Structure 1
Amino acid sequence: MRRAWLVVALWPFAAAAQEMPAMSGMDHAGMHHADTPPTEPAPATPATPSPVQDPHAGHAMGDMPATHDMGSMKMGPMQGGSAPADARNPDYSDGIAPSAMHGMAMHDMDDTAPSATLLLDRLEAFAGQGGHGQSWEAEGWYGNDANKLWLRSEGEREDGRLRDGDVELLWSHAVATFWDTQLGVRSDFGEGPKRQWAAFGLQGLAPYWFELEATAYVGQGGRTAARVRAEYELRITQRLILQPELEVNAYGKDDARRLLRSGISSVEGGLRLRYEFTRTFAPYVGVAWEHLTGGTADLAAEQGRRITDRRWVAGVRLWF
């Protein structure tokens, strides 16, 4: 009796379920609970159409009208709008046009292509215990990777007069990676008579990026001399550079007219801190000193000159 009443109560819901239209593309026969074994589908019964029909019922996705094509949908304006007038170029070129690849000159691969460089390594004013003045150190070259013509000069003015200076003209020939032999002439000027020398030496880049220069000289009357220089560039930042340097000079014979004795005559050093606004323009400040040794120091003491002189320097480094 209870089962009869249960059937009567559930009958309206079963009838409503039979009247629901089947969704197109859905396999109702394959849908079952994971724990319930599939059963044979019941015979299809005609469904009573509902008052509102699904316009897509019975159609595949390919049969959808063109009004539903995603490609025909119009997108609104992108967020953000136009870039400001001062915005940086997307490729970071800043308006610099690229060079044509077909005309690119591979100078590093062609050791016969000549080029030129002029470096004013020191153009400075100094204030020291022995006086005030100006000094310079410059070098330049023209040639290719194998052979170059070098020009070097250094000197100083003190108390309004030229105290000491020299200029060298050298032919430089590459003998190893980063190393050149040099052969040429040197001329001294300043206080005392001028001296002329034949010069030969070696210049290059030692391990750990030390720049070395060693030159021997032979002059008239059996005079001989030698000069050894070393310097290093310590990059604190990409623009701030600390440059220490050391120079030793020696002579084989006395030259009293130029206030020199045989042996090591002087040891000079410097420590300069420069800031490279560009690679071609770098002002600097620093300290430099000169110490006379041996017989040259004795000769200076006899004449009342200082044996050791420390100077504060300020100048600019230029590269052309």
Structure 2
Amino acid sequence: MTRPWRAALGLFLAALLFLFVAPQAARADVSRPVGWSLASATSQVHVGRVTLRYDPRLEDEALAVAREIPRAWSEIEHELAGDLEDTLTIHFVSHSGRIAEGTGMPQWAAGVAHPPTGEIAIAAHAPDGSLTDLDGLLRHEMAHVALYRATGGQPLPRWFHEGVAESFGEEIDLMRSQTLAGAIFGAGVPHLEQLEQNFRATDAITATVSYAAARDFVNFLRWRDEDGSDLRQALAQVKQGKNFEAAFVNGFGRTLAELDTEWRGGLTGRFMWFPIVSGDGLPMALAFPLVFLAAVRRRRHLREGWARLEAEDAALRAPFAA
């Protein structure tokens, strides 16, 4: 199979995945107003300043979500701002249809956030009844809220909003990686000025490539410097009222166009595996080291997150103890 045909096949498969898999567990960050009423979420548990309301029939899954909350929020807030207001209300229900009833979102939305109020809703099952990735849904919606708080609710490009949420939602996303690789060796990766328009496209391939590109570019921004301070500085500048592009110049010392060029310069080398995978195939076992490293990293952040929340709770209780 020639290279053009391999790339076209990769994009075609990615489009099929988008059409038949992604919509089943889709996420959203806009909803009808606040004060959601998800009637089935009648039980609740508190994790620091986070209230998790859940369907009592999902108690085991809810407790697993509760254990994930400290690490997930701690990592996201640290990378975006260092420290943010921690108050969140998370609704956990059985099916995406319950989210639609309570928030006004489409039936296919298995996760939704209302950043101004810090409300999040996630579902255990997608529209077709399949299990959702609760960890990914939780982190994705938390990222929308955290980004809103890190920037003081200032207007941001859609590609950046979704890129940040996608970046934190999945540390390793083979589908997105394959989609981006197919574009690199095929029709090309859209430039930043195209992404905003592409996010409103109805064409499946255009949408999948744009999500994958936004996610990878945000990953590049997150990990470009050793401690991620450039991104935090840029977002702090946005919060202070700076223009989005000017804030990135102040934070990264480069324009968005220059950062885009730098990112693109490394794409071909990073995705040289794609012609091998799309040709003769690459054993999936080779991806196991990446999964192991991600698991180790997550466990470390979980310990750090719990320690931070415990310290904050102790500080809040101190005046009353005195």
Q: Same fold, TM exceeding 0.5?
A: no
Higher helix share: 2
Q: TM-score, normalised on structure 2?
A: 0.25
Structure in which a larger fraction of residues adopt strand? 1
Q: Please, what TM-score do these two structures have when normalized by structure 1? A: 0.25
The structure number with the bigger radius of gyration is 1
